[in-house]
Amino acid sequence: MLQIDSITKTYQGTHAVRDASFRVARGELVCLLGPSGCGKSTLLRIISGLTACDSGTVSIEGVDMTSSPANRRPTAMVFQSHALWSHMNVAQNVGFGLRVRGLPKAEIAAKTAAVLDLVGLSAFAKRLPAELSGGQAQRVALARCLVVEPKVLLMDEPFSALDAHLRKGLREELKALQGRLDLTTIFVTHDQEEAMELADRIVVMQGGQVEQVGPPGALYQNPSTLGVAQFIGAMNTCTSSLRHGAVDWYGVTLRMPLPDGEVALLCRPEDLSIDPNGAAARVARVIDLGPVTKVNLITETGDLLTWTCPRDQAPDLGRVMTLLPRRLHAFRGGALMGLMDVPLPAQAQGATA
Ligand code: ADP
Ligand code: MG
């Protein structure tokens, strides 16, 4: 449905977007995820035609749209601040795009009513934007986009100004609606939980570049860069030197069949387990999160380790535990070198480091 090829955009010589490429299939919901300033909005505006790119192409259904103005593209955009017209009521706001297109009055009324029904706001048609809650206003903004039947719906952090509870509810509503309408959607967010819940696939951006594209689970399990590993989910990061197939991990020597040199060893909090050959660490804080318990520990090397465990296994404060990673991601120069399941301590195999 949508193809983005080598899009680049600079502002005063600095890259806002650099050589970004990805594709979106019909009916797919793709999230652009990354920290603030990484180029998400710029890329979305380039797709919509609101911003021109320096190079690269945007194609929709195989048609090159790179030089088409925004109003010629089959896209519609929902912004973070809903930008409704304050003097128009809800129905007038929603019908605006159809009036601009010169549709007959009866058709505008019918389409507006149908879309308001879709977003659950039929009873609010006569209200002014000032009489709506934040969540309702964003639903109107969405309805205003849906009514023009875009081929691609673009959403730029549409829920980030709303409170967490409302955000979750709207997220679920959007996902259901998007699936029902089979609507190709690009959703921009800096919130990885939001992206994980919504997306069929996530495009992770950093510093204007696409770092990795994949389904949420795949990005979490197999991050291909250090940036993605540290941005999606929590990671314990230990930087160490690898020599002759062995590496120090918080005072424990682990066997690691990789070339010599500096490595960043990353382990998810849930991938640590208690093992007599593990690294010793003292429990500094126990945080009951409800479904799981998060435990902060200080290793003998003075580093912070985070472990998550079932509630009934939560240790007492001050206890010294020995922990081993069951899964380690090794990175060098930001790139993945290897993924080790159950890396063994050298002494457990009788090897010497
Ligand atoms: P994000 O949406 O991921 O927070 P943006 O796409 O808004 O990031 O911005 C990416 C980079 O481009 C930032 O460094 C930002 O300051 C810069 N930028 C965005 N728009 C403009 C503009 N109109 N003029 C100059 N710099 C801009
Ligand atoms: Mg933005």
| SS3 labels along 334-347 | CEEEEEEECCCEHH
Q: How far is the CA of 51 from the centre of ligand 2 (A)?
A: 13
The secondary structure of residue 91, as a DSSP letter, is: H
pLDDT at position 343, please? 65
Per-residue pLDDT reduced to its tens digit, 52-66: 999 999 999 999 999
pLDDT at position 89, please? 96
Per-residue pLDDT reduced to its tens digit, 13-71: 999 999 999 999 999 999 999 999 999 999 999 999 999 999 999 999 999 999 999 98
Q: How far is the CA of 43 from the centre of ligand 2 (A)?
A: 9
Which amino acid makes up residue 3? Answer: Q
Residue nearest to atom 16 of ligand 1 (CA): 37
What pTM does this model have? 0.90
Q: Which atom of ligand 1 is nearest to 190's Cα?
A: 3
Please report, rounded to a whole number, the percentage of residues in the chain having pLDDT higher than 70.
96
Q: How far is the CA of 13 from the centre of ligand 2 (A)?
A: 19
| Average pLDDT of the segment spanning 82-94 | 91
Which amino acid makes up residue 188? Answer: V
Q: How far is the CA of 33 from the centre of ligand 1 (A)?
A: 15
pLDDT at position 330, please? 95
Per-residue pLDDT reduced to its tens digit, 290-323: 989 999 999 999 999 999 999 999 999 999 999 9
Residue nearest to atom 5 of ligand 1 (CA): 39
| Half-sphere exposure in the Cβ direction for 270 (13 Å, CA) | 9
| Average pLDDT of the segment spanning 155-178 | 90
| Average pLDDT of the segment spanning 156-163 | 90
Residue nearest to atom 21 of ligand 1 (CA): 11
Which ligand neighbours the alpha carbon of 156 most closely? 2
Q: Which atom of ligand 1 is nearest to 51's Cα?
A: 23
Q: Is the pLDDT of residue 353 over 50?
A: no
Asked if 45 contacts 51 with a C-beta cutoff of 8 angstroms, the reply is yes
For 100, counting Cβ atoms within 10 Å of its Cβ (0-12 exposed, 13-18 middle, 19+ buried), the class is exposed
Q: Is the pLDDT of residue 349 over 60?
A: no
Q: Quote the mean pLDDT of the chain.
A: 93
pLDDT category, 340, cuts 50, 70, 90?
Answer: confident
Q: Which atom of ligand 1 is nearest to 39's Cα?
A: 6
| Half-sphere exposure in the Cβ direction for 275 (13 Å, CA) | 17
Q: How far is the CA of 194 from the centre of ligand 1 (A)?
A: 22
Q: Is the pLDDT of residue 75 over 70?
A: yes
Per-residue pLDDT reduced to its tens digit, 94-148: 999 899 889 999 999 999 999 999 999 999 999 999 999 888 999 999 999 999 9
Q: Is the pLDDT of residue 352 over 60?
A: no
